[in-house]
Amino acid sequence: MGNILVTGGAGFLGSQLCAALLADGYHPIAIDDLSNGRRENVPDGVPLLVADLSAAAWMELLAGQRIDAVVHCAAQSSNAISFRDPEADLLANQLATWRVLQYCAAASVRRLIFTSSMSVYGNPPSFPTPSEEVPRPLTYYAVHKAASESYVRMQRDLDWTIFRLYTTYGFGQNMSNLNQGLVKIFLGFVLRGEAVSVHGSGDRLRDIVHVSDVVRAIMMSLNAPASFGGTYNLGSGRPMRVREIIGKILECAGKPADYPVQYGPADPGDPDRTHADVSAALRDFGWVPSVLPEAGIAETVRCHLAGKGDGR
């Protein structure tokens, strides 16, 4: 498998996946509308196609190009934003996924990996939550992700894998986007010297997963037939309370324990607890998370304090 199309390839996860694919001898091609990603994120040597995935015209950009697999990472991934403009969310998530499936059929691409979200579970009844749990979406974003999963499962000519990502974090996220990425949002406030603004209780439990573990899961499953037709949770399996996450960020950033933190009303559809059962990924293709949340938070803060990023 040589040529891999990565949608959202200029974004946080997509760009790091492109780098990993390139390092492993693949030939990734990034496609992104640059609504949240940046050209500078795309590794040298990886072509970038700028296009809106919800419009069918982007497929013409790949005319005559053999694509061996598609990893569909592109999304509007904020529950809060989905309430502000449900129609835009439908286009960015459901319709864009449908276009990707149309492309796979037209170009005879058999391998597809789709990054979905733990948001499809809503407030699940069991913890840790298995991937067999029935989705109960509570936001437009989650509804659109759940519907997109159904589109993927209906494709008889695809070897597909669905990954439900828990709160993904690490160095390289868009720091100016205050609507997605819990760890990044809190860290952004601290780096700017602002009070940390929290939507909801500090006692909420969050399962956070380091981006390197997500990239590794995708890489491991790419050529693993046992993962074809499977739906998997990607989390750390070690939830932390929101106040503990903030406390670790403050500690690693050298801030006092009484740094100002302001708690306000929760966003609609925001669950009280997330906790992934990741045993299916271990069973089928040997993946286990390797970055513990506290160590991952510390590394993320260190990277920013070392000046490796521009605060974006």
**Residues with catalytic roles:** 141
Tell me if 99 sits within 8 A of 53, measured CB to CB: yes
> Which residues on adjacent β-strands are paired with residue 112?
70, 160
What 8-state DSSP symbol labels residue 273? B
Does the CA dihedral 100-101-106-111 come out positive or negative? positive
Residue type at 206 in one-letter notation:
R
Long-range pairs for 105-111: beta carbons < 8 A, 24 or more residues apart:
105/155, 105/157, 106/59, 107/59, 107/62, 107/67, 109/5, 109/67, 109/68, 109/69, 109/70, 109/158, 110/69, 110/157, 110/158, 110/159, 111/1, 111/68, 111/69, 111/70, 111/158, 111/159, 111/160, 111/222
CA distance 260 to 265: 17
